[in-house]
Amino acid sequence: MLMILNMLLEGSSIRSLERVHHVGRNTIIAAMVAAGEKCQAFMEKKVQDVPVKDVQCDEIWGFVAMKEKTRLRLKREESVGDVWCFTAIERHTKLILTWHVGKRTPTDTAIFADNLYHATSGRFQLTTDGFTPYRTVIPAILGGRVDFATLVKVYGDAADEGRYSPGVVVETISTARLGDPDEYRVCTSHVERSNKTLRMQIRRLTRLTDAHSKKWENHEAAMALFFAFYNFCRKHMTLKMTPAQKSGLTTETWTLERLLAEASRI
């Protein structure tokens, strides 16, 4: 099962693993959910009061069972439809400090900000995108601990209307929101690159496929498993070590087996 979990973390879909390894998809999902729940508890305990200097936040979109417009048309429950994963990364160590799977609402933004408050220590610079709830939630929860700025990217028209891609960035608008943020460090490129890695490595986030999540708890478990693996097992190409090593949370690169063993002790 370790091999199957490793392949899930390298972009394989559940049904492809079912075909290749002749293991039922329900068994694979059960193993992933169990591992993800353990990793969620492990990360909440392990990544606390981490000294940080420069944090970037972003949200990555996915959906559970159906897209939001379909959910609204069918009047389905909130546990299906669009789902957003809020993520926070430390610029220098590349450590995923916290994340939150929810809707793109002020309430979920507040939960995410509270998680970030407990995951970090000291005063630091914080950059987010222009999502409106950040402007009130960050000052209310993180208060005097942050020098907070937002960075809004303005996109032009896509060069090819038939191509599935965003337009070209024609302008960026940086705005200081709280404290005294260094304008030269106002940036969201690192967290956006991290989210790109997440989308490449987790099949259920791949656009224009049928590999999307079918249940909310499966989506949450997949995110938790990946973030723990990313922090403790996956060497960053720039750092030449894992983010956990760079942050001083561990002295060596862990295997997935070691990660799950440590998580089982929580």
Confidence (pTM): 0.94
The sign of the dihedral angle between the CA atoms of 116, 122, 128, 131 is positive
**Who contacts 260 (Cβ-Cβ below 8 Å, separation ≥6)?**
2, 35, 38, 39
Q: Which domain holds residue 38?
A: 2-264
Confidence (pLDDT) at 157? 73
What is the CATH classification number for the domain harbouring 159? 3.30.420.10
Q: How many domains does the chain have?
A: 1
Q: Angle 16-61-18 (CA atoms, 0-180°, nearest 5)? A: 10
Confidence (pLDDT) at 137? 98
Closest CA to 62 of 82, 32, 87: 82
| Residue for token pair 């909440």 | 44
The mean pLDDT values, 10 residues at a time, for the chain of 266 residues are 97 97 98 98 98 98 96 95 98 98 98 98 97 98 96 78 70 94 96 97 93 96 98 96 98 98 95
Q: Angle 129-188-199 (CA atoms, 0-180°, nearest 5)? A: 95
Hey, how many other C-beta atoms are within 10 angstroms of the C-beta on 30? 13
Q: Across the strands, what pairs with 174?
A: 151
CB-based burial, 94-112: b 16+ in 10 Å, e otherwise: bbbbbbbbbeeeeebbbbb
Q: Give how far Cα 84 sits from Cα of 103, 148, 211, Å.
A: 6, 22, 16
Phi, psi (deg, nearest 5) at residue 231? -70, -40
CA 182 to chain centre: 25
Q: Where are the alpha helices (DSSP H) in the chain?
A: 2-8, 14-21, 25-46, 68-74, 106-119, 134-141, 189-201, 216-232, 243-246, 256-264
Hey, how many other C-beta atoms are within 10 angstroms of the C-beta on 133? 17
